Each structure stands twice: as C-alpha cells, then as structure tokens.
C-alpha cells in the first residue's frame, strides 16, 4: 500500500515475517474457498477462515488507516479499508480476504522491486568496517573500533582490507578499488604521499596510513549523509502529486457513493473504492527519483535530491569554470623570470612561502617547483584576496612580499617597467597565465603557469552541443589570452568566453541569466566557486576524495574527478522527467480512469479490481526500475 512507500523517503524492506504472513493468509484463503464449495463444511467455517486470513492482511491495513485518521493525516489506505469492511458487511467474506491478500502481496512485490534502486546507495554505508588496526608508537598493532580513531594516528591496511578512514599513505604501495565511491572499476595505484578514502578496498600490498578524517567527517561518511539528504529532498513534481492525492480520496468516496446510488449494487461501489486508490499516482515520482539516484551513483555522480534531477531537464545554459574544471588543475610552473637582482631560487622560495598554506592546484605547483629547485619552503602568515592574490602579514617586514595577478599588484602600487611589460606581453600572447611576485612596491619576478586541458573536455562539450546545449560559456579569473587559448581548443566562441572574473563577478553573471528565465547549469571546482554554484539552478562540482568541500557546496558532485559524467547527468535528468510523466499520465491517470469506468459498469469484481489496481502500481515501479539500467542515448535538443 501507499503508506509503506512514502515514509521519510525510505522504502520499506521485505522480510521473512511479512512473507510468512502473506503465505499463511494465502493458505487460509485456499481452505476457505474449498470449504465454500464443499457441502460437508458449515458456512461458519468459511467465515472463520476468511477472518483468520484478514487478521494477517486486512486488519493491519484497517488499523493503519485508523491511526492516520487519529493523527488527522489523510491516508489512501482508507479506501481499501472501507472496501474490506463493506465486503464483510455484505457477507462477501472470501472477497474481502482475497482483496486484502492481493493488496499486501502487491505491496511486497513493489517493495522488492524498489529495493533494487537503493542497493548501491545502501552499499556505501555497509562498506565501512567496524574495526581498524592501529599502529602504536612502539610498533605494536592493536585492533580498535573505528569510532575511536583520531586524526594523526596510524592504521594498517592489509591486502583485502577495507580502508577505515581518510588519510595519507606513509608506507607501502598497493592498488585500491575505489568503485564504491567513484564508480570506476579499474583499481588505482597508490604510493606514499597519496591520499586514500574510507570505504575503498586495498589490493595486494600492505599500507600504513596516517589518519586525517574518520566517521561522518570522511569522504564516505559525507557521501552517506548526502545520499540520505537526497532521499529527503522532494522534487516539485512530487509535492504536486501529493497535493493531488490529498483530494483524490474524498473524490473517490463521492464517486463510489454515486455508483451505489444510481446502480443499487454495493459491490460496484466497493470495486470503485479498491481501484480508486491512487497508489500508482503517488508512487510515480519517488520510485523514478530513487532509481535515477542509484543509476547516477553507480557512475560516480552524486545528486543531492530529486529536485536537481528535475532541474537538469530544464537547463538551457551551461557555464563552466576553467581552472580545475576544463583543465586538470595540475598546474606546472613553466618559466621563472627574475628581476632586480633576485635569483630564480629566491623568487620561487618566496612564492612558495606565501602559497605553502593553500590547497589550490596552483599553490601545489609553486611549492613543488620550489622544492625541485632546492629552495627552502617555510610558511608565513598571509592575507588572501579571493581571485586576486596573497599578501604577507604579521612578519614585521616593512616591504611585505606579495604574489598575484596584474590587477592585484597594481592595486598595491606596483608598476611594471618597460622591460617587464615587454616580457609579460610576450608570455601572455603565448596563452600562459602570469603570476607576479613583488616585495613592497618593487617587482621581483614573474612565474608562467601552464594548465593542461582535461582530455575528456572537448568530447564532453561536443556531446552537450549535440544535446542542444549550444549556449556554452567559459568563466575564469585568468587572463584573456589564457581563456582564449582554452576556448579555441574547445570550440567555444570568444563572445562566450569571459576572463578576469572574480567569484562575485561569476555570481552576478549567472544571476542575471537566471533572472531572464534561462536556467543555468554551472560546473566549478567547489572551492572558490561557492557563490556561483549556489545561484545556478544546478551547481555541479568536480569532486575528489580529498576535496570534501565539493560535497558541501554543489547540488551535484562528479566523483570521478572529470567531466565525462556531465552528459549522462543532463540526459538522466530528462529520462527521469520522462519516466515520471509516463507514470503519472499512463498509469496514474489513464489506467486508473479506465479501471474506474470498468468498475462502475460492473465489468470488474472486487477481486479483479484488486488485481488491476496492483498491476498499475507494479507497472509504475517496473517502469521506474528501468532507470537503474539506463544507458545514455543519442541526444535530442531539449
């Protein structure tokens, strides 16, 4: 029944007790039918067997309807309850028992089918181990509950073990199966210095891991929380369906009364009550949404709620950040150009000192290049101006060091001399990013930054164009030359490429499109794109096991750390909306209307009505379950 499918967004589990109840009720019905047609058995025995069967099936339905009414909550079980009670009053004991048995059996079949949609999501929780092997300071190995692990402690992961916490490998090499988190079936090579995530499975080597995050703070824990949140989020179309269902019950009661009044046959009215239960209508949306969430999760796409699936079907504009989104984010420092007596090593050392506390791809590239050059990397207190640069603070220096873009250093009174201007223009014309390093108001040098375009970026954007999304935009805080170089490679026209944008500029750009009614899907890196991700109809972040910020700021996270899942996301959004509409129109409305007409005309008996009703509900669940095996199809314009 409906009530068993809409509890807090969670589908009930089929268990042995329920199956035993249905099996026992079925045996009692068979005995009642035999007794009915056997001359040697009294009629009271038939009634007794039917009532015994109803104790397993019908009376729980009636009790559920009564409790709903007591709490002033409308429950469509009321219609079936009235039909069962009316059948008993009319002396149709076997019909009452069979109707209740069919309804409960149908709900079990629907529940079993619906569970498949949650199987991958539930596996995320089930994959976490209860205990871990902690490496003590004296080298001893102690088994402890995972809940007792603390950041900074070390754990041992043996071959075949499930990693108990997020952390960094200190010793050992292995291959990790990360399919539970990313959907990627190929094991990933791991070595000292690499990060690992809770819930992933260690391969053939032993690893010693320094714990960083545990429990609900780990990547897996946050994903589980977000999956649970996704099932609580209701799509707008679901809220409309529930509002419709609220008025449906009194309408069916009135229709049944009219059928009885005009035909004088109460069994026709009973059949109307049975087929009139709007189970198919209310199941139409949640079953499709849960199936789509499961399908997306298997491909490494984490969607935080059905509302975002529905929003994907209405997208007209796709805007993408550049650094870390269209590009790999694995920046490299190409040229080190020093001025005014500063050596390249000193320039790199000062740049790395300012960037050492950041976890941005560019910061990691600067620190890496400095270490390769043998420069000393020491941290310092800094002040960061989002999208511009970093200043040294609190060091007592009269002339603090700074690193940032042209706008940033000019804002602090630094002017380029003709030689520096010429070199900067030359490097910028080649399409490389420039970072300026200065001491006080004196320029000390420049770093050129090269960021590789993601290998899947061109094919992803081509697929989106084939889908009808020609309105593609690139938004970046980088220079015009760098943005144009990336845009040329990806066939994005110059008029849709916007450079030199601060985070608030991206926010206002997307907000203006949204105000015009042009629904925007924005793809960012989840770190400094928070405002833009929030204002877009659908905010998509390219996440990684390390970047849990992406899990919190975006509506959708592509957990495979790439753009390849983006076409599937928009296609799955359309497919989900189509499936919901099919469920609502074909089964929720047309099929239900046909069943009501046949019931009013006396073609259907209560038993046939119950069979037909469950056939419609099962059809909805099966139609939604097709999304679990959904394959991306050739696109058609939205």
Render pLDDT for 424-441 as a digit per residue (tens, 0 to 9): 888 877 777 788 999 888
Its domain, for residue 369, covers: 332-450
Which residue, of 521, 543, 564, is where some domain finishes?
A: 564
Average pLDDT of span 251-262: 87
What's residue 522's pLDDT? 94
* Whole-number pLDDT of residue 516: 92
Does residue 119 have a pLDDT over 70? Answer: no
Answer yes or no: is 221 within a domain: no
Distances (CA, A) of 495 to 129, 232, 480, 488: 52, 41, 12, 12
Structural domain tally of the chain?
Answer: 4
Name 116's Cβ contacts closer than 8 Å, sequence gap at least 6: 291, 294, 625, 628
In-domain check, residue 414: yes
Q: Does the pLDDT of residue 104 top 50, yes or no?
A: yes
Question: What's the confidence (pLDDT) of residue 75?
Answer: 57
Segment 574-591 shows an average pLDDT of 90
- Is residue 38 in a domain? yes
Per-residue confidence at 8, pLDDT binned at 50, 70, 90?
Answer: very low
Q: Looking at residue 412, what is its pLDDT?
A: 87
CATH number of the CATH domain containing 351: 3.40.1110.10
**Residue 164 reports pLDDT greater than 50:** yes
Which is nearest to 276 in space by CA: 80, 3, 68?
Answer: 80
For residue 634, tell me if it sits in a domain: no
In terms of domains, do 400 and 489 share one? no
The per-residue pLDDT for 128 is 63
What was the pLDDT predicted at 395? 59
CA distance 436 to 614: 70
The confidence band for 636, taking pLDDT boundaries of 50, 70 and 90, is very low
Q: Which of 34-48, 176-190, 342-356, 380-394 has the highest average model confidence (pLDDT)?
A: 342-356
Tell me: do 414 and 485 sit in the same domain: no
- Pair (90, 10) in one structural domain: yes
Confidence band for 1, pLDDT divided at 50, 70 and 90: very low
Which pLDDT belongs to residue 538?
Answer: 92
- Helices 592-600 and 606-625 cross at an angle (nearest 10°) of 170
Q: In the prediction, which pLDDT does 225 show? A: 61
347 in helix, strand or coil?
Answer: helix
Q: Which tokens sit at 206?
A: 């032993």
Whether residue 471 sits in one domain with residue 363: no
d(CA 143, CA 209): 15
Percent of the chain with pLDDT over 90: 13
User: Which CATH number fits the domain that encloses residue 176?
Assistant: 2.70.150.10
The residue with greater pLDDT, 530 or 45, is 45
Of 321, 555, 561, 571, the active-site residue reads 321
CA Rg, the chain, in Å? Answer: 32
Q: Are residues 483 and 560 in the same domain?
A: yes
Same domain, 428 and 493: no
Same domain, 463 and 547: yes
Concerning whether 335 is annotated as a catalytic residue, the answer is: no
Of 402, 435, 450, the position where a domain reaches its end is 450
Q: What is the mean pLDDT of the chain?
A: 79
Place 115 in a pLDDT band, splitting at 50, 70 and 90.
Answer: low
Residues 230 and 93 in one domain: yes
Within a domain: 219: no
556 within a domain of the structure (yes/no): yes
Judged by average pLDDT, the poorest of 131-135, 378-382, 498-502, 628-632 is 378-382
Give tens-digit pLDDT for 199-228: 788 887 889 999 988 876 666 666 566 555
> Residue 220 domain-assigned?
no
Q: What is the pLDDT of residues 299-329, one digit of tens each?
A: 888 888 778 888 898 899 999 998 778 888 6
CATH code at position 489? 3.40.50.1000
Whether residues 555 and 467 share a domain: the answer is yes
Task: Name the more confident of 345 and 552.
Answer: 345
Of the residues 538, 564, 590, which one is the last residue of a structural domain?
Answer: 564
Residue 41 lies in a domain: yes
Q: How confident is the model at residue 4 (pLDDT cuts 50, 70, 90)?
A: very low
Q: How far apart (Å, rounded) are the C-alpha atoms in residues 449 and 334? A: 6
pLDDT at 480: 81
Q: Residue 567 pLDDT more than 80?
A: yes
For the ranges 384-398, 508-522, 601-615, the one whose mean pLDDT is highest: 508-522
Please check whether residues 113 and 241 belong to one and the same domain. yes
Instruction: Answer whether 355's CB lies under 8 Å from 366's CB.
Output: yes
Are 583 and 620 in contact, with CB atoms under 8 Å apart?
yes
Residue 608 shares a structural domain with residue 550: no
- Residue 241's nearest CA partner among 64, 555, 574, 6 is 6
Same domain, 115 and 232: yes
Instruction: For residue 220, count other CB atoms closer than 10 A to its CB.
Output: 25
pLDDT of residue 520: 94
Q: What is the pLDDT of residue 149?
A: 87
Position 11 scores a pLDDT of: 40
Backbone angles phi, psi at 3, to 5 degrees: -55, -25
């Amino acid at each position: 029944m409906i009530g068993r499918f809409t509890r807090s967004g969670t589908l009930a589990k089929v268990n042995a007790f329920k199956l035993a109840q249905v099996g026992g009720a079925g045996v009692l019905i068979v005995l009642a039918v035999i007794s009915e047609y056997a001359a040697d058995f009294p009629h009271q025995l038939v009634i007794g067997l039917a009532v015994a069967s109803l104790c397993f099936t019908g009376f729980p339905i009636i009790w559920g309807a009564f409790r709903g009414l007591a709490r002033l909550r409308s429950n469509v079980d009321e219609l079936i309850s009235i039909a069962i009670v009316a059948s008993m009053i009319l002396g149709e004991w076997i019909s009452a028992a069979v109707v209740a048995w069919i309804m409960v059996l149908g709900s079990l079949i629907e529940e079993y089918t619906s569970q498949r949609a949650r199987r991958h999501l539930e596996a995320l929780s089930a994959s976490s181990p209860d205990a871990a092997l902690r490496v003590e300071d004296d080298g001893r190995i102690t088994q402890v509950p995972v809940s007792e692990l603390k950041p900074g402690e070390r754990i041992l992961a043996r071959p075949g073990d499930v990693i108990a916490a997020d952390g960094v490998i200190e010793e050992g090499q292995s291959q990790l199966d990360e399919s539970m988190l990313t959907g990627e079936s190929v094991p990933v090579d791991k070595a000292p210095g690499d990060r690992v995530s809770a819930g992933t499975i260690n391969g053939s080597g032993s690893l010693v891991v320094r714990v960083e995050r545990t429990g609900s703070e780990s990547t897996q824990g946050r994903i589980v929380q977000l999956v649970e949140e996704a099932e609580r989020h209701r799509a707008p179309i679901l809220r409309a369906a529930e509002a419709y269902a609220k008025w449906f019950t009194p309408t069916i009661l009135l229709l049944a009364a009219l059928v009885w009044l005009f035909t004088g046959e109460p069994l026709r009215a009973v059949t109307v009550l049975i087929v009139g239960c709007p189970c198919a209508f209310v199941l139409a949306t949640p079953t499709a949404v849960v199936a789509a969430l499961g399908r997306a999760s298997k491909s490494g796409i984490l969607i935080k709620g059905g509302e975002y699936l529905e929003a994907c079907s209405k997208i007209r504009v796709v805007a993408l950040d550049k650094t870390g989104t269209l590009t790999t984010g694995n920046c490299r420092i190409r040229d080190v150009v020093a001025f005014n007596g500063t050596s390249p090593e000193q320039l790199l050392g000062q740049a790395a000192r300012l960037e050492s506390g950041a976890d941005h791809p560019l910061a990691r590239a600067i620190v890496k290049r400095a270490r390769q050059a043998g420069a000393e990397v020491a941290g310092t207190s800094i002040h960061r101006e989002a999208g511009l640069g970093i200043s040294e603070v609190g060091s007592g220096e009269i002339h603090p060091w700074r690193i940032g873009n042209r706008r940033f250093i000019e804002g602090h009174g630094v002017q380029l001399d003709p030689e520096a201007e010429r070199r900067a223009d030359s490097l910028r014309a080649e399409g490389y990013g420039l970072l300026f390093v200065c001491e006080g108001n004196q320029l000390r040098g420049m770093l050129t930054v090269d960021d590789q375009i993601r290998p899947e970026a061109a094919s992803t954007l081509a697929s989106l164009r084939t889908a009808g999304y020609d309105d593609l935009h690139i938004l970046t805080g980088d220079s015009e030359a760098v943005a144009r170089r990336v845009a040329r490679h990806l066939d994005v026209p110059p008029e849709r490429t916007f450079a030199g944008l601060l985070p608030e500029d991206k926010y206002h750009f997307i907000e203006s499109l949204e105000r015009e009614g042009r629904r925007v899907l924005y793809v960012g890196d989840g770190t400094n794109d928070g405002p833009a991700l929030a204002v877009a109809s659908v905010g998509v972040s390219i996440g990684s096991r390390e970047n849990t910020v992406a899990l919190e700021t975006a509506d959708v996270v592509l957990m495979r750390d790439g753009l390849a899942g983006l076409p599937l996301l928009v296609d799955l959004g359309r497919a989900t909306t189509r499936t919901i509409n099919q469920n609502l129109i074909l089964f929720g409305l047309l099929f239900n209307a046909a069943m009501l007409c046949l019931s009013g005309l006396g073609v259907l008996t209560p038993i046939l009505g119950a069979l037909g009703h469950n056939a419609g509900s099962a059809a909805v669940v099966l139609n939604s379950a097709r999304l679990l095996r959904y394959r991306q199809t050739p696109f058609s314009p939205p």
